[in-house]
Amino acid sequence: MCRTISVRPNGGRLIRNDLDLCLYLLEKAHVSLVPGGAFGDANCIRLSYAASEAELREALSRIKTTLASLK
């Protein structure tokens, strides 16, 4: 079960839900994701894997780095 939390990274925009998280990652990590709510599950985010393995690794690395900065 997922737990919902609200985060305000570095005094910036409040991240309250899947849409806020996707917008944050687009802005900070330059990775485009789809909020899970668009598919009926707001506890998830979705990414397309219609890219090369190298591009996917780079995107996941950016996501990891950006999320780690929220701690």
Per-residue pLDDT reduced to its tens digit, 1-53: 455 566 777 667 788 899 999 999 999 999 999 999 999 999 999 999 999 99
Q: Which residues have a Cβ under 8 Å from the Cβ of 67 and sit 6 or more positions away?
A: 25
Q: Which domain holds residue 17?
A: 9-68
Mean pLDDT of 47-66: 96
CATH label of the domain that carries residue 47? 3.90.1150.10
Question: What pLDDT, on the 0 to 100 scale, is given for residue 1?
Answer: 45
Question: What pLDDT, on the 0 to 100 scale, is given for residue 36?
Answer: 95
Residue 14, Cβ density class (10 Å: 0-12 exposed, 13-18 middle, ≥19 buried): exposed
What pTM, to 2 d.p., does this model score?
A: 0.82
- Per the structure, the count of domains in the chain is 1
